Chain A
């Protein structure tokens, strides 16, 4: 009897150890590509050239994407940063001109579009990375690399033949990226706040009426305009965890709250279709629709109860 118990215990341990050893990480999830942790994207040495380039460890193809064009005519195309020559990623002393800050010397992390292009360096299917093959993520190591299965699930739950966004340079079916947050449009939140100096700015929403808070991150290089990028909605470092800042319960100040999320979204967002290894306890809530809509409304004020229609 004792022998059986020992055998079962050992077998259990082996199975558990094997399962645990599949390169999982409670925060990175599928971004723990091949089980290498932060090195899925970053290299501590000999990373992508360019000051402030987040020590990016992956190649960025030179290409131009077709993006969604907004109702006010923004968007349409997005070109990657120059890979060689005098571009930001090829020369540490390059001078970068941006539409809103021409001629200003900037580092890569200060460029709004960098927070889209770095994402696309993996997700546009042109990547060439360790353990990965062809133009899909299918070969990237063992275990569940990406939620969904081929042919049914993609980034953003779009049906498709692979898990990519920006495949063949096509972003026309995706939420607009590298476009200005339309502060002159009454259907969006007004009163953006800028803090910082030079090319380094932090953008926050001045609104304090929306109880859900505004977890989206906008990017600015000039302290006057704010861009929407992939990183506006997504925090690539945490698949199912987010921290949001909401108005204080007493009507003053703010409160930081940990909330469950999915798809690396920066605010509370729950999607039971995502293949979660260890979903948070609150994940099975039946209030999914409300939570998810709240996240969208944190940028799009029009559908919210706090919409005033005031022309900015």
Chain B
């Protein structure tokens, strides 16, 4: 009887603790989406930005996402009852979106799209989304540029008050740039010392010309451009596969494959924002290769650096300069310079064949 009472008390205690824990961890750092590790400013003001501030609703709306009024503005998300979810951004009339509302099957997107006409790195234009671009029954999967425009619907600087913009139309870039002088890049804050034009705001509206090319051809006429890896385009399922499956991310790791995701309109392969970035997984990458998946590995890349990625990149990437990133780099410590440059370079090389060790090992003749 006594044991029964003790067991009962313990059970209640465990249930209570579990409930409390569960209640506090709904969007915790254990989820791939979590942004609690992204940067100190995000942690300090988690409702001002980040992909997980309000769950999936930050980007997607479960209803009224197709061709009807979207309860959202360019400056924030409003809920069904008009409440503002993104406090810093809700400066306009709730529900009165500026720009074009999402139409059709656009991933139930909850933000207005196509607010600007963008100029990408190579001076090619990237205009707003049009349903006319949808081909076949694949919906927007067959429209490569959508996979950039959705990102820009939040990150183009037209979202006033956000500190996570690319800064296209503001004086504040993603890296938290607010002044003149030594600049910070979009990547690890304070990495490089560009002393002018450090945010896109110095350019005409819509300029992305100092960002990596997007909506850019990876193939022309189905043929891979020089210096890049050969790919195969699935013209019915609108997917792109790297022919090579043996790209070794780096010498000390057995996993292979190309983490980047190319998009296709059924004829050519394109590079979009989400070629490098997977907006659903901040620090825990997972990418397919040759029929299986390479998820975030257990253990550590090297002493003090967990096997992970940063900035929603699709493959492993370390960023020791972001020592204030919170728990992700807590073990590294301030002033760490031991991040893995090879790993970071390999992420780029997984698309840029001519810069890879495979290029030199194969004397520039990659197999098909």
A129 x B276 contact (CB < 8 A) = no
B340 engages A45 (CB within 8 Å): no
Q: How many residues of A contact B (CB 8 A)?
A: 57
Q: A23-B337, A142-B338 are in contact. Are A256 and B363 (CB under 8 A)?
A: yes
Q: Which of A35, A49, A52 contacts B122 (CB 8 A)?
A: A52
Given contacts A21-B338, A130-B321, A237-B355, contact A49 B202 (CB under 8 A): yes
Contact partners of A84 in chain B: CB under 8 A: 196
Chain A residues near B187: list those with CB within 8 A.
Answer: 39, 43-45
B198 in contact with A46 (CB, 8 Å): yes
Contacts of A141 in B (CB 8 A): 337
Counting chain B CB atoms within 10 Å of each CB, which of A18, A39, A53 scores highest? A39
Asked if A43 contacts B192 (CB within 8 A), the reply is yes
* A258 at interface, CB cutoff 8 A: yes
Decide if A281 is an interface residue (CB 8 Å cutoff).
no
Please report the C-alpha to C-alpha distance between residue A107 and residue B123 in the assembled complex, in whole angstroms. Answer: 10
Cβ A39 vs Cβ B123 within 8 A:
no
Residues of chain A with a CB closer than 8 A to B343's CB: 37
Tell me which of B10-18, B65-73, B172-180 binds A.
B172-180
Contact A48 B344 (CB under 8 A): no
Give residues of chain A (16-55) contacting chain B, Cβ–Cβ below 8 Å: 17-18, 20-28, 32, 34-40, 43-53, 55
- CB-contact partner of B193 in A130, A142, A242, under 8 A: A130
Q: Evaluate contact between A37 and B210: CB separation under 8 angstroms.
A: no
* Bound CA–CA A129/B56 (angstroms): 38
Residues of A within 8 A of B302 (CB): 17-18, 20-21
Residue of B nearest to A24 (CB): B342
Check A258 against B209 for contact (C-beta < 8 Å). no
Which residue on B lies nearest to A58, using beta carbons? B192
Could you tell me if B357 and A27 are in contact, using CB atoms closer than 8 angstroms?
yes
Contact B342 A44 (CB under 8 A): no
Is A142's CB under 8 angstroms from B192's CB? Answer: no
A90 interface residue, CB < 8 Å from B? yes
In the complex, which residues of chain B have a beta carbon less than 8 angstroms from the beta carbon of A36?
Answer: 188, 191, 321, 339, 341, 344
A301 to chain B, nearest CB (A): 25
Q: Which parts of B338-368 form the interface with A (CB within 8 Å)?
A: 338-348, 355-357, 359-365
* B186 interface contact, C-beta 8 A: yes
B119: chain A residues at CB < 8 Å are 92
For residue A155, CB closer than 8 A to chain B, the reply is no
B303 within 8 A of A: yes
B199 interface hit (Cβ, 8 Å) = yes
Contact (A243, B359) CB under 8 Å given A36-B339, A43-B186, A47-B211: yes
CB pair B196 A92 closer than 8 Å: no
A61's nearest neighbour on chain B, judged by CB, is: B195
A92's partner among B207, B252, B339 (CB-CB below 8 A) is B207
By beta carbon, the residue of chain B nearest A260 is B360
A74–B338 Cα gap in the complex (Å)? 45
Q: A104: shortest Cβ distance to chain B, in Å?
A: 15
CB contacts (< 8 Å) of A243 on chain B: these are 359-360, 363-364
Q: List 6 A-B contacts (CB under 8 A).
A: A34-B337, A36-B188, A36-B339, A43-B186, A46-B174, A46-B200
Q: Using a CB–CB distance below 8 Å, which chain B residues touch chain A?
A: 119, 121-123, 166-167, 173-175, 177, 182-188, 190-200, 202-204, 207, 209-212, 251-252, 276, 301-303, 305, 320-321, 337-348, 355-357, 359-365
**Which 9 pairs of residues, A with B, have the shortest CB-CB distance?**
A45-B186, A37-B344, A49-B197, A21-B302, A37-B345, A57-B192, A241-B360, A43-B185, A32-B341
Q: List 15 additional A-B contacts (Cβ < 8 Å) besides A18-B338, A27-B355, A44-B212.
A: A22-B338, A32-B342, A38-B345, A38-B348, A39-B185, A45-B173, A45-B185, A46-B166, A49-B196, A51-B123, A90-B196, A92-B119, A107-B123, A130-B191, A241-B357
